[in-house]
Amino acid sequence: MRALQQTHDIVLRWRSFELRPAGAPPLPDDYRQYIEQVGRPRFNQMMREQHGIEVHSGPFGINSRDALIGEKAAEAYGLGAVYHELVTRAYWDEAKDISDRTVLCAIAETSGIDGGVFIAALDDPGYDAAVSEDVTLAQQIGITGVPALIFAGRYLVSGAQPIETLRQVVERVTAEFGA
Going from N- to C-terminal start, the domains of the chain cover 12-142
Q: Which of the four CATH numbers 3.40.50.1220, 3.40.50.10800, 1.10.3720.10, 3.40.30.10 does domain 12-142 have?
A: 3.40.30.10
pLDDT tens for 96-134 read 999 999 999 999 999 999 999 999 999 999 999 999 999
CB 115 within 8 A of CB 109: yes
CB 119 within 8 A of CB 101: yes
Total Cβ atoms within 10 A of residue 47: 16
pLDDT tens for 149-175 read 888 888 888 887 888 888 999 999 889
pTM confidence score: 0.82
- At 179 the pLDDT is 58
Among residues 139, 138, 162, 133, the alpha carbon closest in space to that of 150 is found at: 138
